[in-house]
């Protein structure tokens, strides 16, 4: 913050603040006493467009652990972004997420700091996620990145340009990745990547593809310090001081109240009853391997028929599309006319038995951090469903995780895919598929339409599951291609 150089400048700025904002007596007194700096106002009403601001801010007030995590994050990064605030509903996960982010972006590793952020920009831009793009543009410049690279991918070094194909395949059709793609990156003469660098690249790309899904799925608003996150214009509704807005005393909530979407009577109880019935069926009999394989193929085929907002074409702006190649390239389902992508059986290539050791070998200790993050997201539970206590949610969490992997052609031989249709209704499947395929098309209506009786914290939990399942699916295909190249 700069100090005003002259008293008349201070008076002018103080007067300007009073003109711009309707401010309370206390703030007016402080503004005259202060150095006269204009204070920006957040553009959005809180960290999320989907979740009431007071509900998010209440978490840090009631939970000392999350308060401590926020303080540590601010001390390290100099900011507390909106993604972290929303993840604050689940402190155990947030702690692991921030630790992974810190290691990946700031600690010693194969890639230079500015390259890490530039790859983050490339990955986030693939899904038109301006929130993450802006965040990493700022960080890229802060660590000494060349501003010319931000003019477009063609301005970046050829070595980074060569990642364009890997970026688009991993984001939209990761099952198409082959050892030949890996070989081209590792044997590009003076522009080649090392194996260690490529592991770092792959982790960055898959992380920010999946984090884009979380960002759109939770309706994350721009941070106040980034483009589109603030304004100096006065609030559109009068009668409130700017300090009310900054402190979360939202005028919109007080004027219009917390209008909840009408609840579907008995939705939670019906789901709990289905879980109970499925568990009883498990205890009585187990389907044969042939039947389970058939059910997987049926679910994989049916996942194609879940209609998303595919007709609403999202044309990326130049600001975003300049950071990646081939904007028309997108997700395609497995079964096309004359096209068949083989199923990836987890028993043949899994994170636990294959991917984990490969990452840990080429990027020491990071495999452990990733594994911890996957495990926390998958196993996280408070034994609640809406207002019900003491509920075993493991069956539901597994169905969500396995449905996402099924969409990527990944099969668990020991899982009965018939459970998915029992536990996940159509509106939830539409939300999941859009989150994974085209997260930029997620709307508040879609967010509100699934699990209408559940808490926002539970929906954030779902988004954490979706994010981590997607990241692991992309990673499996990338690491399998690298393994095949190495052998």
Active site residues per annotation: 129
Distance CA 194, CA 306 (A): 40
| Rounded CA separation 430/403 (Å) | 12
Residue pair 351/203 in contact by the 8 Å Cβ criterion:
no
Q: What letters, b where the CB count within 10 A reaches 16 and e where it falls short, cover 27-52?
A: bbeebeebebeebebbebbbbbebbb
Q: How far apart are CA 54 and CA 58, in angstroms?
A: 6
- β-pairing verdict for 230-231 and 388-389: unpaired
If we measure between CA atoms, which residue out of 370, 397, 398, 360 comes closest to residue 382?
A: 397
The residues near 239 (Cβ < 8 Å, ≥ 6 apart) are 22, 251
Report helix, strand and coil shares of the chain as percent, to nearest 5: 60, 5, 35
Q: Which helix (H) or strand (E) holds 396?
A: helix 394-407
Parallel/antiparallel/unpaired status of strands 384-385 and 41-42: unpaired
Residue with tokens 């609840």: 263
């Amino acid at each position: 913050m700069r100090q005003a150089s002259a008293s008349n400048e201070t008076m002018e700025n103080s007067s300007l603040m009073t003109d711009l904002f309707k401010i309370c007596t206390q703030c007016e007194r402080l503004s005259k006493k202060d150095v006269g700096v204009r204070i920006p106002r957040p553009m959005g009403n809180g960290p999320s467009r989907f979740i009431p601001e007071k509900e998010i801010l209440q978490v840090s007030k009631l939970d000392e652990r999350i308060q401590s995590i926020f303080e540590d994050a601010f001390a390290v990064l100099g900011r507390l972004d909106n993604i972290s605030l929303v993840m604050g509903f689940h402190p155990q996960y947030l702690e692991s997420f921030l630790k992974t982010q810190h290691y990946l972006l700031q600690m010693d590793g194969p890639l230079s700091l500015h390259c890490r952020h530039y790859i983050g920009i490339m990955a986030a831009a693939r899904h038109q996620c301006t929130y993450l793009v802006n965040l990493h543009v700022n960080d890229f410049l802060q660590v000494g990145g060349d501003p010319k690279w931000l003019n477009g991918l063609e301005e970046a070094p050829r070595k980074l340009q060569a990642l364009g194909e890997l970026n688009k395949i991993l984001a939209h059709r990761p099952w198409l990745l082959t050892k030949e793609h890996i070989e081209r990156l590792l044997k590009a003469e003076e522009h080649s990547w090392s194996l260690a660098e490529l592991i770092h690249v792959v982790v960055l790309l898959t992380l920010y593809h999946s984090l884009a899904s979380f960002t759109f799925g939770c309706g994350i608003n721009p941070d106040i310090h980034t483009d589109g996150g603030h304004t100096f214009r006065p609030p559109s509704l009068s009668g409130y001081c700017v300090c009310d807005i900054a402190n979360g005393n939202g005028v919109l909530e007080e004027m219009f109240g917390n209008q909840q979407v009408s609840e579907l009577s008995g939705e939670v109880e019906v789901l709990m009853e289905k879980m109970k019935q499925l568990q009883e069926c498990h205890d009585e009999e187990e389907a044969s391997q042939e039947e389970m394989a058939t059910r997987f193929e049926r679910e994989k085929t049916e996942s194609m028929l879940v209609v998303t907002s595919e007709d609403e074409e999202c044309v990326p702006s130049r600001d975003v599309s300049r950071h990646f190649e081939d904007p028309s390239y997108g997700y395609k389902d497995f079964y096309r006319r004359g096209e068949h992508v083989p199923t990836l059986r987890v028993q043949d290539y899994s994170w636990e038995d294959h991917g984990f050791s490969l990452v840990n070998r080429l990027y020491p200790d990071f495999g452990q951090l990733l594994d911890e993050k996957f495990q926390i997201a998958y196993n996280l539970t408070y034994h609640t469903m809406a207002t019900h206590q003491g509920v075993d949610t493991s069956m539901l969490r597994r169905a969500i995780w396995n449905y996402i992997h099924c969409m990527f052609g990944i099969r668990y031989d020991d899982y009965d895919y018939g459970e998915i249709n029992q536990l996940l209704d159509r509106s939830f499947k539409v939300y999941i598929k859009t989150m994974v395929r085209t997260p930029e098309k997620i709307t508040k209506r879609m967010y509100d339409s699934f699990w209408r009786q559940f808490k926002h914290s539970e929906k954030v939990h779902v988004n954490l599951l979706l994010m981590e399942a997607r990241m692991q699916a992309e990673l499996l295909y990338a690491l399998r291609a690298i393994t095949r190249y190495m052998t």
